[in-house]
Structure 1
C-alpha cells in the first residue's frame, strides 16, 4: 500500500468539506430572506449567529459526554490560538456584519449581492500575497471563472449603484470576512466544532447587544427559534465544514469552492418559487462548473522540505506523522496530542494544508 494514500484521501475530504460548507450556507440564504422585513437586520444577524453558537454548544457538550476521556478527542483551542481567533471574530463576526447593515441602509440589496462576490477575491488576494499561500495559473483561472459566475447571477438585478458610500461599506465588509477567513486558517488544526461555537456565541452576543443598544425590538419567540435553526445549519455547521476545509486545502482554494454558495442559494430560490431559470443562470452554472473543475483537477507535486514543527491536532500515523508515544497510548487513531515533526524531504501531490505551507 502506498504510504501517501491516506494523505491523498485527506485532500479529497477537504474538497467535500468546502462544497458542503458552500451548500449549507447557500441553502440558508433563501430561508433567511423570509425574515427580512420582519426583523431588524442587526437583530437578525445576532439571532442567526447566536442560533449557530447555541446549537454547536449543545453538539459540543453531547460529544464530550459520548467521548469521555478517550484519546480520539480533537485538539482543543490553546492559548496561542486565542489572538488569531479573537481577530477572526472581531473582523468577521462583528465588523463585517455591522458594515453590511450600514451598506443595506444606503443601497439596494440587489446591488449589494454583486459586490459581496468580492469576498472570495479578497480572501484569495490576502492568502496569496500577504500570507504567501501557493497558487498557479490553473488555480487563478478557476477562481476567475467562479467569481464571474457569482457576479453574473446577480448582474441582471443590479441597478445603478448611485452614491458609492454603500459600495465602500460592502467592500469593507468583504475585506473583514476575507481577514476572518485567513486568520481562521491559523487555528484550523484545532477543534473545528469549538472554533465555530466560540465564533457563533461571541458574534451573536455582540450583535444582539448592538441591536439592544440601538433600541431595536427583538423578534417573537417563534421567529427566534426559526431563525436560530437557520443560523445553526447555514452559519454553524457550514463554518465547521469550512474550518475542516481550511485544514486540508488552505484559504484560497477553500474560498474558491465556497464561492459556489450563491449558486446554491439561487438554485434553491428558483425551486421554491417554481421559476424556470433563464439563460443567465445556465451561463453562470457553466462558468461555476468550469472553475470548480479546474480546482478539482489540480495536481501540485514537487520535492519539498518539511522543517521542524511542533503542534497539536487530530492525526493518524501516516508518512508525515512518524513519532514515538509513551506506553500509556492505547493505539487508537486518529488521536490528538502535542507532537514534533522532524525535518523531512520528499515529493508527492499536495495542497497548502497545515503541513505544507512552504515557499515555492
Structure 2
C-alpha cells in the first residue's frame, strides 16, 4: 500500500506541473486544441509502453484487458474526464490566475468523495468529513474580495468553469475505478487517444486551433506525456490498490503543488488569503488521505483477473509457471469470507455502509 501511495503523490506532482504550463500555452492556443494535443500525447505514451511490455514479455496479455460491460464505464470516463473536464479547466484558466485555479482543483477531491459515497456506498469517517470541510473553507477564503491582488480581478465565470471541471473529473474517477483492475497503460491509452482525437475533431469543426508553432507543440507534447499520461497511469494503479476515496484524497495534494508552482513559475503575487487557503486545503487533503475505518464485513464470491500478490484475499491454486513470477495476473476465484480489518475501498471491498 505504501508504494501505491507514493505513486499517487508522484501523479499529483506531475499533474500539478500542467497548471502553470498550460496557463502559458493558453495565451496563444485554443483550449480544445490544447486539450486534444495533451491527451493524444498521453495516450500515445501509454500505448507505446503497453507495446514495449508486449515485446519484452512483461505484458499481462488479454487476461488484463478491458472487456464486456467495462467498455461502458470507460466510455463514460473518456467523455467526462478526457473531453469535457480539460476543456472546462482550460477555459477557466483563461479567466483566473494559475494559483487560484490550482487551489480550486481541490474540489475534485470533494466531488470524488461525494460521488463515491452516493454511487458506490463508500464510507467517509470523521477525519474525512473534517478534511472536506477544510477544503470548502479554503474555497471560501479564495472567494473573498481581497483573496487576490487588485491587479488580478476575480472572474466568477472562471471559478465556475474550474469547479465544473472538478465535478467531471470526480465522476471520471469513480467510473475509472470500475475498470482499474485492467492494465493502467491500456486504460490511459484509450482515454488519451479517444479523448484527444475527439477534442481535436471538435476544434477543427468549430475552427478553434489558435496559433501554434514547433516550440509550443513540443511543450504541449511533453506536458501531455508527463502531466496526463504518466500521471493518469499512476493514478489508475492507485485506484486499484487504494480505492476511490484514498486515491482521490492523495491526488488532492496536486492543487497545493499547482499553486506553489504557479507562484514560482508564473511570478504571480502571493496574497495572504491565498496562503491561508493553501494551508486549509492541503490540511484537508491530508485528513482525507488518512481516513480509515474498520468493521466486520463480508466478501462475496467473485471471479476476475488482475495483477496481485498472495495476501489474505488471494488464496487460490496456481500452476508452477504462475508461481514463478510475483506479482502476476491470471483468472482466479475469491471464496466467500467474513472478517474484520482496517481497509480502504479497493476493488475487493465494495460493500455498502
For Structure 1 versus Structure 2, the TM-score category normalised by the shorter chain is 0.7 to 0.9
Question: What is the aligned partner in structure 2 of residue 257 from structure 1?
Answer: 250
Are the aligned partners of 1:122 and 1:174 in contact in 2 as well (CA < 8 Å)? yes
* 1:19-98 equivalences in 2 (<5 Å): 19-67=9-57, 75-98=64-87
Q: For 2:332, which of 315, 318, 339 is the aligned residue?
A: 339
In the aligned structure 1, how far is the partner of 2:337 from the partner of 2:276? 46
TM-score, scaled relative to structure 1: 0.85
Q: CA deviation at 1:18?
A: 2.3
1:4 aligns with: none
Correspondence 1:203 to 2:195:
yes
Partner SS for 1:39: coil
Query: Which structure 2 segments of 5+ residues have no match?
Result: none
**Range with greater deviation from structure 2 (264-273 or 131-140):** 264-273
- Counterpart in the other structure of 1:191: 183
TM-score, normalised relative to structure 2: 0.86
Change (3 A) 1:13 1:250: same
The residue number in structure 2 matching 1:221 is: 214
* Stretch moving more, 329-338 or 95-104: 95-104
How far apart in 2 are the matches of 1:322 and 1:222?
53
1:314: how far off?
A: 0.2
Q: Does 1:126 align with 2:115?
A: yes
Q: Distance in 1 between matches of 2:13 and 2:139?
A: 14
Would you say the 8 A contact 1:150–1:263 is kept in 2? no
Q: How does 1:97-246 map to 2 (within 5 A)?
A: 97-100=86-89, 108-110=95-97, 113=101, 116-149=105-138, 152=141, 156-157=147-148, 159=153, 161=155, 170-217=162-209, 219-246=212-239
Offset, 1:255:
1.9
Gaps of 5+ in 1: 1-9
- 1:248 aligned residue (241, 254, 264): 241
Q: Secondary structure at the match of 1:34?
A: helix
